[in-house]
Chain A
Amino acid sequence: MTQADVASTANIRPRRRRRRNLTPFLLLSPAILVILFVVLLPLLFSFYTSFTGYRLIKPETLYQWVGFQNYQRIFADKNFWAAFGRTVLFLTIALNLEFLLGLGIALLINRITWGQRALRTMMMFPMMFSPILVGYQFKFIFNDNIGILNNALQALGLSEGAIPWLVDKYLAMFSILFAEIWMSTSVFAILLLAGLFAMPRDPLEAARVDGCNPWQVFRHITLPFLMPFAFIAMTIRSLDVARAYDIVDVMTGGGPAGRTELLWTLIARVGYDNARMGQANAMAYISILLSIAFTYYFFTKLIAARKYMGGAD
């Protein structure tokens, strides 16, 4: 290095440093701007709206401040709490079953050597289906009159009449859960399978040599290794749990008589059908908090698991 070089680097260094600090923000600015304009600003606006008696048909009500009245009203509303409870229950059952089934499927496919690639590709298809299509598909299958399920049951002589899959309170909930799980289990299966592929062989063999039985190997080596992958899947899933709205909207529309009403269908009904925007926005805020709670929980778990795996900063 010549003297001139040394001098020039000494000159450049402070300037470079400052530029370094600015460049990432410059690169990120379009992303931040878009999110600001399309997500954050509307959310601030809807936060304001949730304190007004805004109705779509009366534009002047946008400035009618009502304080916490919307929140008081929905907290006192039995239908709201029913929908809220149903949504939490729905998410808990769906996510847990999806994880367990996904784990089972990943372990199953991992054992197969012939045709594994084809199976993996097939497994990805439900993930790419539009939720609206999944809903339609199962509306068709569970239809009490012409659905393939009732037709098959009747043809096999297993059931006399038509089972009201989408009409009965419990059966309708079951049908929707089935559709949801059909659509989303593959997220878990595929990521857990990726985890199984990435797994080092040595600890497994060492444990076997030390006399662990297959269950112990699974419980103490395979499962801890897979957990970060499970949390990625959970995080991805919790990012868009609300797409269940599409399924419910097609399959039952929240009916019959509100028996399959989830928080999201209730918001749509209050906001658009009843035009009570203020109240709907108050509900929407609660649904947003619910989603953030789910995501935040899994994301912190993911960060912890990542640290445990020894990732970068």
Chain B
Amino acid sequence: MDRVLKKRIGKIVTWFLTFVLMLIISVPGLWVVLTAFRPNREVLAKPAIWIPQDPGWTNFAKIFGFGAEQIAIPVPAYFANSLIIASTSTVIALLIGMSGGYAFARYRFKFKNKIFLGLMLSRTVPGIALSLPIFIIWSRLGLIDAKLGLIIVYVALNVPFTIWLIDGFFRQIPKEMSEAAQVDGCTRWQAFWHIEFPLAKSGIASAGIFAFLTSWNEYALASNLTRSTDSKTLPVGLMDFTAQFTIDWAGMSAMAVIIIIPALILTFLVQKHLIAGLTFGGVKG
């Protein structure tokens, strides 16, 4: 009897703690999403209005330039910039990462661990510290406020981590499979293309999603290397709202939702592979 009671209390405590945890995780985001659908005067109201009185899409319409009211911030241009910069840099980082990851997974060579450590250490340089010299060099090369300038930086930012993940995925594929194919007359390249690549494909895709999100979310470098609608990305554009004297919380929340949605969808797709990739690459070495 006593043990049954103890077990039941344990279960209730577990569920209670989980509930509180999920509340802390989800409430801040949900509150922003809710705000995105409310007019700003309701957000500013005192005493607080808890339940939205007239929810609607006005904030989104404003941001994208539809409807009667317009906003001075060119969100559609920022959105396009973000999309172009993030996807281009992801594709390039993936190609570089695949070749590098394959080298780490399949070959033994001199300075292997040192090169790996070097690549990883390059990632530790704080974005803001790196932005100073890049700002000076890029301004001489005319890469400031250009999409290309940011793409190059993001490729370098994503390569180390992409290599780490892809290395892990290739390691999970037994060496014997490609060796068998080579015995049967395939070249190494064919063996890679027909055997190893298809098996690692989903893992590589998730490395790509991860790289995309890193570029999509980056702020420290983008905020200093961009100036105008030519290259400003969404996270930098979000700060446009705070430059005004009164913060347009509702508009800012609507923009936040636009930034969050791709991240949420992609996270959902990637979650399983990401955990597998990180732990495999890290623990099994």
Contact A35 B160 (CB under 8 A): yes
Question: CB distance B260 to A42 under 8 Å?
Answer: no
Question: Interface residue count for B (Cβ, 8 Å)?
Answer: 95
Contact B256 A136 (CB under 8 A): yes
Complex: how many Å from CA A41 to CA B140?
14
Q: In the complex, what distance in Å separates the CA atom of A256 from the CA atom of B104?
A: 48
Quick one: given A34-B156, A42-B137, A111-B14, are A264 and B128 in contact (CB under 8 Å)? yes
Q: Are the C-beta atoms of B282 and A232 separated by less than 8 Å?
A: yes
Bound complex: CA A37 to CA B138 (Å):
12
Task: Report chain A residues within 8 Å CB of B252.
Answer: 136, 140
The reply to whether B213 and A128 contact each other, CB–CB distance below 8 Å, is yes
A299 touches B117 (CB 8 A): yes
By size class, the interface of chain A is 35 or more
Contact A122–B31 (Cβ < 8 Å): no
Nearest CB on A from B224, distance (A):
6
Partner of A34, one of B28, B50, B155, B285: B155
Interface of A is mostly: helix
Query: Which of B47, B110, B128 touches A267 (beta carbons < 8 Å)?
Result: B128
B211 is an interface residue with CB less than 8 A from chain A: no
Chain A residues near B79 (CB-CB < 8 A): none
Q: Which of A78-86, A216-224, A305-313 is found at the contact surface with chain B?
A: A305-313
- Asked if A121 CB lies within 8 Å of chain B CBs, one says yes
Q: Are B128 and A242 in contact, with the CB atoms below 8 A?
A: yes
Chain A residue at minimum C-beta to C-beta distance from B11: A111
A236 at the interface (CB under 8 A from B): yes
User: Are B14 and A123 touching (Cβ within 8 A)?
Assistant: no
Is B256 within 8 A of A137, CB to CB?
yes
Does B75 sit within 8 A of A, measured CB to CB?
no
B133 contact from A49, A198, A287, Cβ within 8 A: A49
Interface residue? A170 (CB, 8 A)? no
A132 CB–B CB distance under 8 Å: yes
Q: How far is the CA of A120 from the CA of B268 in the complex (A)?
A: 10
The segment out of B65-73, B94-102, B193-201 that lies at the interface is: B94-102
Q: Is B44 interfacial (CB-CB < 8 Å)? A: yes
Is the Cβ of B125 less than 8 Å from the Cβ of A39? yes
Complex partner residue of B220 from A129, A138, A245, CB under 8 angstroms: A245
Contact B133 A24 (CB under 8 A): no
Neighbouring A residues of B204 by C-beta, 8 Å: none
CA distance A155 to B48 in the complex (A): 8
| Cβ-defined contact, A20 with B125, below 8 A | no
Q: Name the distance in Å between B205's Cβ and chain A's nearest Cβ.
A: 16
By a CB distance below 8 angstroms, the chain B residues around A236 are 278
A74 sits at the interface (CB 8 A): no
Contacts A27-B99, A130-B259, A133-B259; A191 near B279 (Cβ below 8 A): yes
B136 touches A309 (CB 8 A): no
Known contacts A24-B109, A239-B124, A242-B129; decide if A146 and B279 are in contact (CB<8 Å): no
Q: Verify if A25 is at the interface (C-beta below 8 Å from B).
A: yes
Given A137-B32, A195-B279, A306-B283, A108 and B21 contact (CB-CB distance below 8 Å): yes
Within 8 A of A (CB), among B11-44: 14-15, 17-18, 21-22, 24-26, 28-29, 31-32, 35, 43-44
Q: A20-B107, A42-B130, A288-B126 are in contact. List 4 more A-B contacts (CB 8 A).
A: A109-B18, A191-B278, A194-B275, A285-B129
A-B residue pairs, 9 tightest by C-beta: A242-B126, A130-B217, A38-B156, A311-B285, A284-B129, A46-B133, A42-B133, A27-B103, A24-B107
User: Can you give 16 contacting A-B residue pairs, CB < 8 Å?
Assistant: A24-B109, A27-B102, A27-B103, A34-B152, A43-B133, A108-B18, A112-B15, A122-B22, A129-B260, A132-B235, A151-B48, A229-B283, A239-B161, A246-B235, A284-B126, A296-B121
